[in-house]
């Protein structure tokens, strides 16, 4: 979480924009970051209440956008960034909690490290 906060609040002065040609690259990056962050939180706190975890991660995305607007970072609040943060959280939430896809991996990792 610290790395996400640091990366999203780092001033943009002197950092050249990435020209890839795809208009939504930034949004896809937001989605991927929050998808990975949600999956990591699932593994780090498997017994934590899933709804509180979901709410916290969604609010964390909003907090980042508010801080980007409030701090002199050269960044601004973008509703679409927050929407893609939420999409990443919800996708990971669905994978982690409803499909059970990661349960087998978690059990294997538990056996490996215990």
Q: Are 57 and 34 in contact (CB under 8 A)?
A: yes
Confirm whether 16 is domain-assigned.
Answer: no
Print the domain residue range for 105: 23-113
Q: What are the CA-CA distances from residue 111 to residues 66, 67, 97 (Å)?
A: 42, 41, 21
**pLDDT at res. 11:** 56
Please state the pTM of the whole predicted model.
0.72
> Over the chain (114 residues), what is each successive 10-residue block's mean pLDDT?
59 55 76 92 81 92 89 80 94 83 70 74
What is the count of structural domains for the chain? 1
Confirm whether 41 is domain-assigned.
Answer: yes
How far, rounded to the nearest angstrom, does the alpha carbon of residue 35 sit from its chain's CA centroid? 5
Confirm whether 86 is domain-assigned.
Answer: yes
Confirm whether 12 is domain-assigned.
Answer: no
**pLDDT at res. 23:** 60
**pLDDT at res. 99:** 75
């Amino acid at each position: 979480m610290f790395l996400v906060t640091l990366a999203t609040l780092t001033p943009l002065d002197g950092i050249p924009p990435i020209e890839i040609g795809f208009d939504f690259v930034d949004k896809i990056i937001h989605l991927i970051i929050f998808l990975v962050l949600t999956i990591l939180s699932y593994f780090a706190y498997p017994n934590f209440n899933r709804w509180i975890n979901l709410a916290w991660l969604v609010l964390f995305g909003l907090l980042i956008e508010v801080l980007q607007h409030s701090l002199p970072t050269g960044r601004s609040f973008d509703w679409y960034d927050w929407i893609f943060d939420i999409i990443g959280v919800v996708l990971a939430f669905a994978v982690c909690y409803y499909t059970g896809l990661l349960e087998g991996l978690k059990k294997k990792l538990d056996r490996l490290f215990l």
